[in-house]
Structure 1
Amino acid sequence: MAPPLDPEVLRAALVTRGSGWTEVEHHDSIGSTNARATRLGRPWVVVVADHQSAGRGRLARRWDAPPGRSVAVSATVPVPASGAGWLPLLTGLAVTEAVEATTSLAAVLKWPNDVLLPSDDDRKVSGILCEVVTARAGPLVVIGAGINVSQSRAQLPVETATSLLLAGARVTESTGTDLVVAYLQRLADRYAALVEAPVTGGALAGPTGLSGLAAEYRTRCSTLGRRVRMTRAETNGAIDVVGVAVDIDAEGRLVIDGPGGPTAWAAGDVVHVRLDG
């Protein structure tokens, strides 16, 4: 089993002057860290749990794991005035960087923010869900991330999932805590860069602003250059387009070059199509 998170270490590392984060709430077990963060309704609050029983992923998918085998973390930030569509993508970037900083594993992204581990055949180790909620302090984004730490193959819900342990990482007493700290520090840095990016003609721009963040994301995004299949929830599983993912546009949308030419997609379920599939 993965050792439990250390709330005191988390607070000491995260609730510091200039870090942004103001509070860390730890639970041994909880229904949903996102639901709890929503109820708290304050910006810059972190809710973490060693186990959640009612976790949700993108497209209303259930994200579940046996107790003590994964970590769940939700964080609240104000809705950015510009570039909000990039926040889910930059969250994925922060998780990939944290995985690499705390384990021996390389990590890549499947658009928009599924974290995949190449050492285990590009299986998914982390899922991210961003939700905009109304709070007294103003609109907030609740950012939820679940990271598989030490599940066995039989404990994973689907064949395409993995854990850090299965992919070859050495899981120690501090792995989960170190991972959460590294992720949230990077998330705060990415958020600051996003909100400080200059705005030109209504769009974020500038080498030190979003264009630099976008370049980093593109480097990590294994979807680009791949043949993909896109479906959306509102089409009830019908395929919207099959083509080659050629770019991420200025709004964070995936551009797919399909039969009708390049089109940009703000949301949907992307499958990397193998050459034999």
Structure 2
Amino acid sequence: MNAQNTDARAALKPEEFTALAAELGLGTIHIKETSESTNTELANLAQSGEAGDRSVYFTEFQQHGKGRLGRTWLTPQCSALTVSVLALPGKSMPTESLSWYTMLAALAWCQAVGEHTTVAARIKWPNDVLAGDKKICGILAQLVGTPQGFGVVVGTGMNVDQDRSEIPVDTATSLKLANGAAVSRAALLGSYLRHFTALDIAFREVSGDAAAALVNYGSQSLSQLVSTQLATLNVDVRVEFPDGSQLEGVAKTLESDGALLVRDAAGTEHRVLAGDVHHVRRADGKYA
């Protein structure tokens, strides 16, 4: 996708997707004006065998987007980038490595945002992208069984062109607000899919080992690349678990299996594999 389209609210052109698919070797491209949920619809296609490796499902208006803990959201039409990608690594990596695709996608978005804006996007563990301390992108990955074996559908929703009145919560923002200028959605999406594909190829080449050096990434592993962009490290956090319990402490490291290592006030270290993480503000209003 080229950068000539600077109208962020213009609908993306199917021919741009076609050219990008040919360039990157993507699977089938599904472009919908509206969608109940790009993740659900692409997962259904994957399960039936109608969608192959690196297929893309994009919508201009998602009606029932799904997030963590069953949350839903709506965005004004043509103001965001709502896209799901299917990764089917097959026997190139163990199934447990598929959990890394959430942060692989977050890293790809950070790289894409850096190419087209002045925003220094960071990752908030486990599935958000931040501009400063505000959320600009949410990510939801789900495991799917297909005729080719297990794969993962990675859905993302990037806030691109919303004004302040179109952002429903104070903890979120858009790239236009954070950047101080409009951003081409076509160029941004093209960059995201390029970075996602490159990282996906490199990750498969090391058999899904997040601690192994990736080719063309300066001998850094996926874990190291993500850690460099991880805003959650060395920050006071509160982790809320699905059973209602909580953990407070300092996020210290990202483990090789994607777990967040949190050290509580008593010095005990806890490996957190799932939970809602909140960055805790200090008394001076700043993040630790």
Task: Give the TM-score normalised by structure 2.
Answer: 0.85
Secondary structure (helix, strand or coil) at the match of 1:15 reads: helix
Secondary structure (helix, strand or coil) at the match of 1:147 reads: strand
Taking only the aligned residue pairs, the percentage that are identical comes to 33
Q: 2:188 aligns with which of 172, 179, 186?
A: 179
Give CA-to-partner distance per residue, 1:189-229, whole Å, 9 cap, x none: 11112121168xxx654333795221111110010000000
1:7 aligns with 2:14: yes
Q: 1:56 aligns with which of 57, 66, 90?
A: 66
Residues 92 and 112, structure 1, Cα contact 8 Å, conserved in 2? no
Quote how far apart the aligned CAs of 1:81 are: 2.0
Residues 14 and 21, structure 1, Cα contact 8 Å, conserved in 2? yes
Secondary structure (helix, strand or coil) at the match of 1:74 reads: strand
1:150 aligns with 2:161: yes
1:221 aligns with 2:221: no
Secondary structure (helix, strand or coil) at the match of 2:66 reads: coil
In structure 2, what is the Cα distance between the partners aligned to 1:54 and 1:223?
28
Q: 1:106 aligns with which of 107, 117, 120?
A: 120
Quote how far apart the aligned CAs of 1:103 are: 1.9
Name the amino acid aligned to 1:243: G
In structure 2, what is the Cα distance between the partners aligned to 1:123 and 1:96?
14
Q: 2:259 aligns with which of 253, 260, 272?
A: 253
Name the amino acid aligned to 1:270: V
Q: 2:41 aligns with which of 19, 36, 43?
A: 36
Task: Give the TM-score normalised by structure 1.
Answer: 0.88
The alignment covers a number of residue pairs equal to: 264
1:1-277 equivalences in 2 (<5 Å): 2-16=9-23, 19-41=24-46, 42=51, 43-78=53-88, 81-82=93-94, 83-118=97-132, 122-171=133-182, 175-197=184-206, 205-208=211-214, 212-233=221-242, 235-236=243-244, 238-239=245-246, 241-258=247-264, 259=266, 261-276=268-283
RMSD: 2.0
Q: Does the C-alpha gap of structure 1 residues 112 and 185 become closer, same or farther in structure 2, counting only changes over 3 Å?
A: same
74-83 or 223-232, larger mean C-alpha shift: 74-83
Q: Does the C-alpha gap of structure 1 residues 44 and 228 become closer, same or farther in structure 2, counting only changes over 3 Å?
A: same
In structure 1, what is the Cα distance between the partners aligned to 2:66 and 2:180?
25
* Structure 2 portions without partners, runs of 5+: 1-7
In structure 1, what is the Cα distance between the partners aligned to 2:142 and 2:212?
27
